[in-house]
Amino acid sequence: MQQTDSDSHLWEDFKKGEQAALSRIYHLHADSLFRYGKKFSADSELVKDTIQDLFFDLIRSRANLGTTDHIYFYLIKSFRRKLFKSLTQTKKSRQNEEYDEALPASIVYSVEEDWIQKEHLSRKEEMVQKGLAELSPKQREILYYRFTCDFEYEQICEIMSMKYDSARKMVFRALKSLRENLADTNFILFYTSISVFYTVPKK
């Protein structure tokens, strides 16, 4: 998701306490944050609560917030950190219960789940889905940021706490793995269809 020219102005209006700016930011990004959160946890209520907590925190601290010209990136970075904390706390609180959520370090991130939501998959789409399933969780996550969110490597490094060279190498190796697991036509399909099947909607 590319930033818009109005992001910096909208953010400044929000920091000044304008209710319309808050409503606009929430309307633009809450649904995308929910879909993003569901890729890390099947607990819809936990994801919703984390989104609410994120916005409450932003409201409480907005006078001290820095500037940004890319609101979605700012939200994703903050939301990911808060969601991982919530998942860890939830796991600890259920020590005596059966619990299938992984800790943040080993979260199963599945960008291909959006394809699964389709009623019918073509043979090529099924092969691309299987190719993605061969990747590690972090490889799938970094491809999501790079190709779906269209984040720059510097932004990805901030989100995933990685060094620049490490992020580039991970993307390169993930794409190499896909190419090795897919026929050329299906690898091209990965590039051409990624925006169709699971790009974050622009509003």
Residue of higher predicted confidence among 196 and 182: 182
Residue 191: band (very low, low, confident or very high) from pLDDT cuts 50, 70, 90: low
- ∠ CA 158-164-170 to the nearest 5 degrees? 100
Q: Tell me the per-residue pLDDT of 2-48, one tens digit each, with 9 for 90 and over.
A: 455 589 999 999 999 999 999 999 999 999 999 899 888 888 999 99
Give the global pTM.
Answer: 0.72
Q: Does domain 7-93 have CATH number 3.40.50.300?
A: no
CATH 1.10.1740.10 intervals, the chain: 7-93
What pLDDT digit, counting tens, does each position of 105-124 carry? 333 444 445 544 544 456 66
Q: How far apart are CA 122 and CA 117, in angstroms?
A: 13
Residues in the chain: 203
What CATH code is assigned to 109-198?
1.10.10.10
Please tell me the predicted confidence (pLDDT) of residue 4: 52
Dig out the tokens for 115 from the structure. Answer: 């394809």
